[in-house]
Chains A and B, each alone.
Chain A
Amino acid sequence: MFQDRLLKKGLLASVMASAFVVSAFSSSAVAEDKKEVKLGVVTFLSGGAAGPFGIPARNAAELLIDAINKGQLPGAYSSVGLAGAQIAPIFVDENSKQKVADYKKLVQKDEVDAVIGYISSGSCKAIAPVAEEEKKLTVFFDCGTSQVFEDIITSPKYVFRTSAHATMDNVAAARYVVDTVKDVSTYSGINQNYAFGQDSWRDFSGSMKVLKESAKSVSEQFPKVFAGQYGAEISALLTKKPDIVHSSFWGGDMEALVIQGGGRQLFSRSKVVLTGGETGIERLGSQIPDGTIIGARGPNGPLAEDSALNDWFVKAYVDRFKSLPTYPSYHMAQAILGVKSAADKANSTDQAATIEAFKGLEFEVPSGKISMNLAGGHQATQGTAFGTYKFDKASGKGTLVNIKRYNAACVNPPEGMKSLEWIESGFKGAVCK
């Protein structure tokens, strides 16, 4: 009887031990079969957005992936690879008429483990539901529209965005205007006619209504994206004589607005706010009139605070590409660091484990701290900053002065509240330090 019990116990123990060994072996097999992680990287490699956005983002991706694979990143990121696995990137051009088909090819044919990508808000709106259908970890790195998690996919499982959405930029822009410009009675906007431009104006004008009730909007211009010619729009703005002109133009469109508007005194007659103006600082130099209010879609580039990670990023980028990293480079870097943080935290490249670790994650990036605390832990928030442009003739370089910083809770809606609803509520729950 006793022997039977011993036998049974022995059998049970050996079964459990075998199960443990098999389980341990299989989990190590899972870890081992991911010595290499395929990462789809989608950004503009051609078209109007390539030069100012897509290529700097691709550059940052190459830089970060190389450094991660070699274990050359500083501080908390010094471990090699994603949970030990080497990253093999597959670069795809976002400038495609078949964005969804391209995405599905990455997932189904190339069998990538994750996708990082998308600059255009239109791309993100199209890809988000497809990514959920395909059940593939997808990290949006730059697109700004708040609609992604507020309207398109309200309960995301596989889609993350590691940069704050455009509400942050435009609420902060309005706060900066109210904080630094005296006697604002009228304002107007010139924004591109698509999701990002429309959302940006909605958030800026909505914020102005709350922060400066007495001020009135006098003109709203929505030219086609990549139009390049804004003569009529500038005339319309000049005839209305607004105190403030808000623009979320980016890339070549933003540079064209500076050239055309600067030549026609728009910038001297009105205070112009360029929420994405930072990408033009190095290239346009003295052409950006002094006094222009400049943002960088986060505390990026000249708005970034000193840190070892930022110092490394700027130096490594300049050494390799001979130009300063602009905010698309910063956004790409923070997406890749987000995936690395999640994989390292999970100590696994398994998708489910990485996603679980990614939700609600806080991690350091060259521009500061990112908190994934909106949309159930899938959408990032971050503090931001704005500054006023000043060209230094001696050095021949543009700088930002009178920089004001806004903490994340001051310029981002709280969890569970849509951006517009939050702005119209008078920024309910906002905590501004």
Chain B
Amino acid sequence: MLTAVAILIDGLGFAAWLFLSSVGLTLIYGVMRILNIAHGGFYALGAYSSAWAIGLYMQTGSSVAFTYLLIPLMAIVVGLVAGLIIERGILRFMYGRDEVLMVLVTYAIFLILEDATKLIWGTESLVAYQPAYYLGNIEIFGIPYTVYKFALIGLAVLCGAVLWWGLNRTTTGKLLLVVIEDREVSSALGINVTLFFSATFVIGTTLGALGGAVTAPQISVVPGIGAEVIVMAFAVIVIGGMGSIGGAIIGAIFVGFARAVSVHLYPPAELFSIYLVMAAVLAIKPYGLFSLAQGRKI
């Protein structure tokens, strides 16, 4: 029973982190057909800026409570600044090019961002644990869990719900779905596709940065964290179906629980459990569980 509950909580906790870290990636792919490797760089920028800001703020001796506003604020700043610069400064000149070329372009951006984080914050690790500790612990069957972990699960649910509502219950969201379906027809119908691209990229970047920003208090923020997350995020969206928000939720849950089950029941399998799930899903559904329907144009 104890192990089952631990698997449930750990699986949900890891799935929440995976969803927050990968939803921006799948959103950008769904709308722009760009497999954005630079997403890992945005995650790292979010983590660094959050840890740095928390560190500066805590030196003032003020209450930790304000850091819960500081974290999303830094993610928004990173999303707006980095997202706009990269989309307006680089990507808009590449639209319409082959998807593989876009992978190379975003990989180059990722490498630039990796070096940029080192130039800005150096190579020393940043530690900003206060927000993760401040909320305290909850004991479940005698095992302590940080409340912060449950807050992240709540945040992931909130993000998923807002995205679903935004896409399905607002006019802008419905227009975006049209752009996802067929950008040429959308353009012909008078939808400003370029504006949607810019807005989507900034939102995707902000979500990537948010993933890093909320993770920062739980980890040691070191160079290279972006490279680690992009692999996991890629696994999640491939399982769920690239471009599908619902797929990202299901993919995150699959991967989260696969990892939790292996850690608790058979730790040696932890390393490849994620890829085992990915291989099993792709063997049955080669384009992922919720892949977008591909219309054939004649």
A397 at the interface (CB under 8 A from B): no
Choice from B3, B122, B133 contacting A263 with Cβ under 8 Å: B133
- Whether B270 lies near A51 (C-beta < 8 A) is no
- In the bound complex, what is the Cα–Cα distance between A326 and B171 (angstroms)? 58
- What are 7 contact pairs spanning A and B, CB under 8 A? A47-B223, A51-B124, A224-B270, A251-B220, A256-B218, A259-B220, A283-B124
Bound CA span A235–B260, Å: 10
Q: Which of B115, B132, B271 has the most CB of A within 10 A?
A: B271
Contact of B264 among A232, A256, A260, A287 (CB under 8 A): A232
**Other-chain residue from B17, B222, B270, B271 in contact with A251 (beta carbon distance below 8 A):** B222
A236 at the interface (CB under 8 A from B): yes
Q: Are B224 and A46 in contact (CB under 8 A)?
A: yes
**Inside 8 A of A284's CB, which chain B residues have their CB?**
127
In the complex the two chains form, is A264's CB within 8 Å of B223's CB?
no
Q: Min CB distance, B257 to chain A, in Å?
A: 10
- Which 4 A-B residue pairs are closest in the complex by CB-CB distance? A255-B220, A48-B224, A252-B222, A232-B10
Given contacts A46-B114, A46-B224, A47-B223, contact A264 B123 (CB under 8 A): no
User: Contact size class for A?
Assistant: 35 or more
Instruction: Please tell me which one of the listed residues A222, A224, A229, A265 contacts residue B218 in the complex, with CB atoms under 8 A apart.
Output: A229
How far does the alpha carbon of A252 sit from the alpha carbon of B260 in the complex, in Å? 22
**Is the CB of A426 closer than 8 A to any CB of chain B?**
no
A238 interface hit (Cβ, 8 Å): yes
Does A50 make an interface contact (CB < 8 A)? yes
Q: Are B123 and A256 in contact (CB under 8 A)?
A: no
Q: In the complex, which residue of chain B has the Cβ closest to the Cβ of A241?
A: B142
Most chain A beta-carbon contacts within 10 A, residue among B13, B125, B144: B125
Q: Residues of A with Cβ closer than 8 Å to B?
A: 46-52, 54-55, 95, 193, 219-224, 226-229, 231-233, 235-236, 238-239, 251-253, 255-256, 259-260, 263-265, 283-284, 287
**Bound complex: CA A196 to CA B215 (Å):** 27
- Taking CB as reference atom, which chain A residue is nearest B222? A252
The answer on a CB contact under 8 Å between A265 and B219 is no
Instruction: Decide if A236 touches B264 in the complex (CB within 8 Å).
Output: yes
B contacts, CB < 8 Å to A:
2-3, 6-7, 9-11, 13-14, 17, 114-115, 118, 122-125, 127, 129, 132-133, 137, 143-146, 149, 215, 218-225, 227-228, 259-260, 263-264, 267-268, 270-271
Check if A238 sits within 8 Å of B143, measured CB to CB. Answer: yes
Q: Are A226 and B228 within 8 A (Cβ)?
A: yes
Chain B residues closer than 8 Å to A259, beta-carbon distance: 127, 129, 132, 218-220
B137–A265 CB distance below 8 A: yes
Whether B137 lies near A228 (C-beta < 8 A) is no
Q: How far is the CA of A147 from the CA of B64 in the complex (A)?
A: 47
Are B218 and A51 in contact, with the CB atoms below 8 A? no
A252 to B227 alpha-carbon distance, docked (Å): 14
Instruction: Give the chain A neighbours of B259 by CB distance below 8 A.
Output: 232
- Beta-carbon nearest neighbor of B274 in chain A: A224
Query: Residue of B at shortest CB range from A233?
Result: B263
* Given the contacts A221-B267, A236-B263, A255-B220, A55 and B123 also touching, CB distance less than 8 Å: yes
List A contacts of B221 (CB < 8 A): 252
Q: Of B3, B115, B268, which is within 8 A of A239 by CB?
A: B3
Please, how many angstroms separate the alpha-carbon atoms of A260 and B167 in the complex?
Answer: 36
Q: In the complex, A223 Cα to B218 Cα: how many Å?
A: 16
Distance, CA A287 to CA B127, complexed state (A): 10
Min CB distance B17 to A, Å, is 7
- Whether the Cβ atoms of A238 and B263 lie closer than 8 Å is no
Nearest chain A CB to B224 CB, angstrom units: 4
Nearest chain A CB to B258 CB, angstrom units: 11
- The minimal Cβ–Cβ distance linking B149 to chain A, given in whole angstroms, is 7
Query: Which residues on A sit within 8 Å (CB–CB) of B2?
Result: 239
Residues of A within 8 A of B17 (CB): 229
With both beta carbons as reference points, the residue of chain A lying nearest to B145 in the complex is identified as A264
Specify the chain B residue showing the minimal Cβ separation from A193: B271
- Identify which of B123, B219, B228 gathers the most chain A CB atoms within 10 Å of its CB: B123
